[in-house]
Amino acid sequence: MASAASRRCILRSLHLFFRRPWSVLTGKLDQNYMSSFTSAYAIMNDEHGDPRKVLSGRNITLSAKLKDDEVLVKMLMAPINPADINMIEGTYHIMPKLPAIGGNEGVGEVLEVGPAVKCLSPGDWVIPADPGWGTWRTHAVAPFRELQKIDNKIPVLSAATIAVNPCTAYRMLKDFVHLKPGDAVIQNSANSAVGQNVIQIARQWKIKTINIIRDRPDKDSLVKYLKDLGATHVVTEEFTRLPEMRDLIKTLETPPKLALNGVGGKSATELIRHIGQKGVMVTYGGMAKQPVTIPIGALIFKEVSAVGFWNSKWNAENKNNPAKEKMLEELCEMIKDCKLMPPKSDLLPLTKYQEAVASAMEGYKGQKKVFVMDDNMVLFP
């Protein structure tokens, strides 16, 4: 169990990092925000298309009385992820029935439970158990089976963003190659939200990481930031094509056993070139929107494997798997001990959804857009 000092550590770190009031970071909100919970404000779409055009904010009616298996939830925070945008566009593999409430990830506080609900109590925090649940709303009434309890002793921002990127990083490091302390992993898109979680989790497991980023004007500050998170090496895409990259690989005890690909195209090909014998490349994203090309020699002589990972599918197949509970507990303990920090985030009121979504569609630029459901929570300096 994390100490009180550890919890204060993470709260103070986030308070300074995001320059937001403590109420935002702890989830201790004004309980008088709504005098009635018979309605909620939600961001919805009636058709698929450009999110900047098809989304609208509207009031929706909630059930006046809970059914036996239902819970009333007040949403606290919810991020905007690429999958959220794709669902609204109609291009994602999973699409909720229209009209739909946006958002796959977020955290809420249980306010009331139906008489048959024994696993949740008022004051508990919950996250959606499945994608497409609709987190971009102030309140929700839902069957308890649609929700997963999460530790309410971690900062609300960490709880709101735990289900996608930290879990993706955890499972990829855990499920494809048996890694032991001293082993190495190589990844592209290292400054992405998934990449930052890979760095931090690998550090706790004493796994070395080679982290590839694109060259940029602020490269030096980004390299420092990633190394502060625990990165062993940070190099550019261009560096991976130089002879010096082979020299770097030789400094490791063994070549990387695992490669994590969030880009595709030539970047993925370079990952394959630098993993060791019988290494595995796991693809979880395709930012370059280019196919993965694997050299014939790597397949035949190095016997490498290329597989894919989709966090939503893993969740759907492991709802009752104790491994899921263990994963969330382990991630929460890292958070409490200040060893797993969320990426830099821009906190915006839900009512500013048009601005937030438009910015998110421009691509990840070092700050994740996160909705705060109570306008009064966000007090900009």
Q: Is residue 114 part of a domain?
A: yes
What is the domain range of residue 49? 27-161+345-377
Q: Is residue 351 part of a domain?
A: yes
* Domain stops at, among 286, 308, 330: 308
Let me know whether 288 and 365 are in one domain: no
Q: Is residue 248 part of a domain?
A: yes
Q: Is 92 tagged catalytic?
A: yes
Q: Tens digits of per-residue pLDDT, 20-62?
A: 443 444 444 333 333 356 789 999 999 999 999 999 999 999 9
Assess whether the previous peptide bond of 99 is cis (omega < 30° from 0). yes
- 218: CB partners within 8 A, 6+ apart: none
Let me know whether 191 and 285 are in one domain: yes
Q: Is residue 331 part of a domain?
A: no
Query: Which residue of the set 92, 170, 284, 353 is catalytic?
Result: 92
Let me know whether 49 and 117 are in one domain: yes
pLDDT at res. 9: 54
* Domain stops at, among 289, 308, 327: 308
Let me know whether 124 and 212 are in one domain: no
Q: Is residue 10 part of a domain?
A: no
Positive or negative, the CA dihedral 166, 172, 178, 182 is: negative
Rounded to a whole number of angstroms, the distance between the first and last alpha carbons of the chain is: 34
- Below-50 pLDDT ranges, the chain: 1-8, 10-12, 14-35, 377-381
pLDDT at res. 40: 95
pLDDT at res. 35: 38
The CATH number of whichever domain residue 47 belongs to comes to 3.90.180.10
Let me know whether 154 and 192 are in one domain: no
Residue 112 pairs in a beta bridge with 72
Task: Please state the three-class secondary structure of 271-322 as a single string.
Answer: HHHHCCCCCEEEECCCCCCCCECCCHHHHHCCCCEEEECCHHHHHHHCCCCH
* Domain stops at, among 256, 285, 308: 308
Let me know whether 35 and 156 are in one domain: yes
Strands laid side by side in the 55-61 sheet? 55-61, 39-45, 100-101
Count of domains for the chain:
2
Let me know whether 99 and 194 are in one domain: no
pTM of model > 0.85 = yes
Let me know whether 39 and 157 are in one domain: yes
Q: CA 144 to CA 141: how far, in whole Å?
A: 9
pLDDT at res. 376: 55
Q: Tens digits of per-residue pLDDT, 71-130?
A: 999 999 999 999 999 999 999 988 899 999 999 999 999 999 999 999 999 999 999 999
Let me know whether 187 and 152 are in one domain: no
Q: Collapsing DSSP states into helix, strand and coil, what is residue 180?
A: coil
Let me know whether 357 and 265 are in one domain: no
pLDDT at res. 208: 98
Let me know whether 148 and 229 are in one domain: no
